[in-house]
Structure 1
Amino acid sequence: MSITADQLQARLAERLQAEVEVVDESHLHAGHAGAREGGRHFRVKIRSAQFEGLRTLARHRLVYDAVSDWMKKEIHALAIDAADTPN
């Protein structure tokens, strides 16, 4: 099963009470090992009050926790820009 950018956006928005933008960059990785196995490459920009006071690593852990079941196969790579401010 392959997920879409819309599905990823909806899950992150719900679980992190966040403003989320998702870009599917899978086409840039055609032929890559993860892409051949069905894993998608996404870039996400997330703004959530839950990130307030957290360092980058802790913010990224929250994001990965929100999609941990998809990280096994559906998502091969996830580039994250996570902040607590709307910028």
Structure 2
Amino acid sequence: MKKIEVIDLLDHLSRIYLGRFKADERTLDAWYFHLADQEKDEILNNLKAYVAINKFPPVVSDLLSNQINLNYFNFDKSFSNGE
């Protein structure tokens, strides 16, 4: 990602998570350090998936992995036969 793209990402996060996420120049530098070699579209897709299921702001590692691939507990499979 380019630095301007990380700025846009942090600005977007501050608008989604009102009052919960505030970025300053040091935050920008830290996020850019970790996201510089990432593809913008992949990070934005991961953000979209993250926001859909999380009410708290992400950390960098949350956006480096795709949150869609969560394993959910299958209640019916585990308990439907009375075992």
Alignment TM-score > 0.5, same fold: no
Larger RCO: 1 or 2 (CA < 8 Å, sep 6+): 1
More strand by share: 1
More helix by share: 2
Task: Tell me the TM-score normalised to structure 1 length.
Answer: 0.29
Larger radius of gyration: 2
